[in-house]
Amino acid sequence: MTSGRGENRQPGEFRQSRVWLGGHRPDEAVFVPPPDAQVPDAFAAMERFLNDVDGTTAPLLKAALAHVQFETIHPFRDGNGRLGRLLIGLILAEAGVLREPLLYVSVFFKRHRRTNYELLQKVRTTGDWERWIGFFADAVFQTATQAVQTGQNLSELHRSDKERLAPLGRTGGRRPRCWMRWRRDPSRTSPRS
């Protein structure tokens, strides 16, 4: 976050001021996270939960619970949504469910933004964890299914391109000559410039 949105909002440091989501003032807000003085303790409790290695919490459930907690604590002035979504893949990778944290549910959450926010708020106000966990499981399932389909499509495209290029003798991994010229000319910033 050193060169992008939020770079002037103390990236990586817990917030030292009051924040709220929605509205121009806290009394108009849709959600007001805990006061900044409570953030370190709340975050430490979440960290203990994440690092609990007794194996009693299934990884997918742990990711769902941790995501809600992170979004509720809202520990930073900016980037909480992005980090909260990245946390999901990291938890699943750490648990060995994924080899790498490549599951990114942002598209699903954006497509179902209103439902996502409503269910997060219901967890906070009424403790309705069941609906949130069901929604979360759907998000992971649909995201994983789409990733598999995309991988299969790319694999098929690779196979068909290799077949088309085979008669031309270009399947040996050599790069096109235009790419090589671009690499040698440091004044060019991209292959198309």
Q: pLDDT tens digit string along 30-84?
A: 899 999 999 999 999 999 999 987 778 999 999 999 999 999 999 999 999 999 9
Do residues 97 and 103 lie in contact, with contact meaning Cβ atoms separated by under 8 Å? no
* Residue 123 CB coordination number (10 Å): 20
Amino acid 179 reads W
Q: Is 76 exposed, middle or buried (0-12, 13-18, 19+ CB in 10 A)?
A: buried
Q: pLDDT tens digit string along 137-168?
A: 999 999 999 999 999 999 999 999 989 888 88
pLDDT > 70? residue 175: no
Q: Is 88 exposed, middle or buried (0-12, 13-18, 19+ CB in 10 A)?
A: buried
Closest CA to 89 of 71, 103, 75, 76: 103
Closest CA to 92 of 148, 152, 144, 154: 144
| Cα–Cα distance for residue pair 1/110, rounded to 1 Å | 21
In this predicted model, which residue has the larger pLDDT, 183 or 118?
Answer: 118
